Amino acid sequence: MNYKIVSLDDTKALATAMMKAYSEEPWNEKWTEERGIRRIKSILSNFESFGLAAVYKNEIIGGVLGFIAPYADEDFFFVSELFVVPEWKKKGVGKSLLFHLEKHLKEKDIYTIELISIEENVEFYKKSGFNKGDVNTMGKQIER
């Protein structure tokens, strides 16, 4: 398996892998190719976006995508997506993507990673060295 820095040229392959990843538990989401491509483009089009892909036999099997977020006294990296195709889950791909991400971020003098996670994935992130932060995530569903 190899890891590579992604570009907009990888959009369709990243979208395909992401859609596969989210088609199973706990998400069971039904993505269209158009929406998957739109999601990937929206992340990779952010100011100072960055991503890595796990590649096996020329196929993207996982990815971590996000952007550098400048703050008062340091930059941090916000992970927008971390996904692994179903047949590669629980084989260390996600953990390895985070490891390689950290390596690249250190080269950019970035030492903080933040993300939003569903409850089912909290244990995975804890095993990868993440802790629940002081910030609460809040949302509101607007009536249709």
Is the pTM higher than 0.75? yes
- Beta pairing partners, 50: 66
What would the CATH number be for the domain defined by 2-127? 3.40.630.30
Q: Do residues 110 and 77 touch, judged by C-beta distance below 8 A?
A: yes
Looking at residue 98, its pLDDT comes to 97
Query: Using CB atoms within 10 A of its CB, is residue 4 exposed (0-12), middle (13-18) or buried (19+)?
Result: middle
User: Does residue 132 register a pLDDT over 90?
Assistant: no
Number of Cβ within 10 Å of residue 50's Cβ equals: 21
What integer best gives the mean pLDDT of the chain? 94
User: Does residue 10 register a pLDDT over 90?
Assistant: yes
Looking at residue 136, its pLDDT comes to 79
pLDDT category at 133 given cuts 50, 70, 90 is confident
User: Does residue 33 register a pLDDT over 90?
Assistant: yes
The values of phi and psi at residue 24, to 5°, are -110, 180
Looking at residue 119, its pLDDT comes to 87
> What's the whole-number mean pLDDT along residues 122-144?
88
> What's the whole-number mean pLDDT along residues 75-102?
96
